[in-house]
Structure 1
């Protein structure tokens, strides 16, 4: 029978899990088998890779060897592999040995563990896994609130379409919140902490006004969706900042998201840095300038539209 290897791990079990370390360890094993010209198939959990080869569909008689990659050697799921692939030469590589006498361990013909009782520790397989290259790091800042917009709210539909689309993008997604909290370790406690996170991103996807402004303040392009039908503060702020990557709730679709995604990760990088520089220069007037002018009685004709609005009430 022609030599053929079936690769398994905790990423193979229906109720198992695929960690980044496990998958990188697998990639390292696949790399060395390919280099050696050894045919192999990988078994995946249907919950992680629905269209891949699953244990239920594996025909054990097609294989001469089984290799179990990474993770701890324990439990009935690992032990059951010895029964199902009883005719195969079975090897465990890059694994942790908890109990050397357990059936999960003793069922293997060969062990190449990374650690265990009375064993020297060996560097994990993930350390030498092939480098697949960097992916964009994307901060996602969405809101389900803003009830003040009543019937014009499209927040839930915007979030649903946007997150479903993001799920298919090959990027590292980081859910963020502009809300500060000194008690919740998952949230930033100061604006400086959030600024530090934003500055390390490649892109921000947001339907929040401050998601837009704080991204540009950090020099990071923002793909912005206004979740209010007809446009509201998000659209107004995009105009005020001169930022074009804006999609209206009623026009939100995948082609528009894709177009602005591509722009943000190319030309948008330069535009975001230019706007950050403008922010730092502080040459554009804002409400604070108008406030001081109003309070000191030095309002200039036509200056500070917010000042005129605030000053339009009854006079004492």
Structure 2
């Protein structure tokens, strides 16, 4: 053995667990490996291939700080494995060459006859066998699922708009509570929707599967409650506007002003919204709202019997605004003509 690779190996067995650990599936397979070693009474440490993954788990060690002499076994866990990867991660595969190498849940890209650096290979798939992925053995864990439905900037409210502050507080709540989040958007058509939803059926189908909706949108709140889903709403307008007004009408109380609500208030609201009592209240709100609209059809029909009164609109559009509107419509007409192959237009 060359001086470069010469290592005094510890008598005690200690394993080093390495891998990408870049997906939740990778981490689940790592947990399976850890449990097997714990059951066998073998000490171990974990290090990811790259520094970027160190933040996933505070107990993981930096590969450059490890003393190779402490380890007797190297477990290479999950993902594809190729000759190029061994070269790329030479800080591991060169320095720990003396260890017994065991591959766990790997996809071996090359034929084993040409590349297999492992004393023991418990692969996921290779040219000799295929196993079910080890993440199947990890018991599923569950956390609440919340929707996040946000407004953009609403210019009609001017300097009263607090959408950015409301979003910041809701995102902080999500991070602190550890819930799973599905971001949602009420905009149509799909080309303008940030998450590809194209109609009410798609939006409400997601709503119906949530535990809680977090929103700054009126329709984020309304459509969630319509589906019996408890909602935390932050009115994005200082002093309260349509979101607050609608919540009061509905009798739904977890609605807040962005300048006044604190993290503790939102955490308490989330805990309540996750209760069966909150879900029952949301269903009651839905039923009351539907009942309150019973007379709408008659009002709608009566509206069709009213004669016109154009004088109500005599000063609706000032002269300056009228000229600007005409110019805007003319420009839109020219763009449509060009798009339709109308060629160059001269006016």
TM-score by length of 1: 0.83
Unaligned runs of 5+ in 2: 1-10, 315-347
Equivalent position to 2:27, from 23, 27, 31: 23
Deviations 1:159-190 (A, max 9, x none): 12321331232221111111133457942222
Question: Helix, strand or coil for the counterpart of 1:42?
Answer: strand
User: Following TM superposition, by how much is the alpha carbon of 1:314 offset from its aligned partner in structure 2, in angstroms?
Assistant: 4.2
Q: Specify whether residues 263 and 224 from structure 1 end up closer, same or farther in structure 2 by C-alpha distance, changes over 3 A only.
A: same
**Contact 1:4 1:64 (C-alpha < 8 Å) held by counterparts:** yes
1:144-183 equivalence runs, <5 A: 144-183=152-191
User: Which protein is bigger by CA-based radius of gyration?
Assistant: 2
Q: CA deviation at 1:294?
A: 4.3
Aligned twin of 2:18: 8
Task: Tell me which of 258, 269, 273 is aligned to 1:249.
Answer: 258
Q: Is the 8 A contact 1:46 1:52 kept in 2?
A: yes
2:88 to 77, 80, 99: 77
Residues 81 and 286 of structure 1, relative CA distance in 2, 3 Å threshold: farther
Q: Kindly report the root-mean-square deviation, in angstroms, between the aligned alpha carbons of the 2 structures.
A: 2.7
* Aligned residue among 72, 88, 103 for 2:99: 88
Is 2:117 aligned against 1:113? Answer: no
| Cα drift, residue 64 of structure 1 | 1.5
- Contact 2:225/2:286, CA 8 A, preserved across alignment: yes
Aligned residues: 292
Relative to 1, partners in 2 of residues 1:95 and 1:237: Cα closer, same or farther, differing over 3 Å?
same
Which aligned pairs between 1:38-57 and structure 2 lie closer than 5 A?
38-44=42-48, 45-49=53-57, 52-57=60-65
1:268 and 2:278 equivalent?
yes
2:323 equivalent in structure 1: none
Give 1:35's match in structure 2, choosing from 13, 32, 39: 39
SS of the aligned residue for 2:16 comes to strand
State how far apart, in whole Å, the 2-side matches of 1:296 and 1:185 are.
38
Within 1, Cα distance between the matches of 2:301 and 2:43? 77
Contact 2:14-2:70 within 8 A present in 1 as well: yes
CA separation of 1:142/1:286 partners in 2, compared to 1, >3 Å: closer, same or farther? farther
> Which structure 1 residue ranges, 4+ long, deviate > 6 Å from structure 2?
none
Give the superposition deviation at 1:199: 0.4
Alignment gaps of 5+ in structure 1 = 12-17, 299-310
Matched residue, 2:150: 142
Residue 122 of structure 1 aligns to a residue whose secondary structure is: coil
What TM-score, normalized by structure 2, do the two folds share?
A: 0.76
Q: What is the distance in 1 between the residues matched to 2:268 and 2:184? A: 23
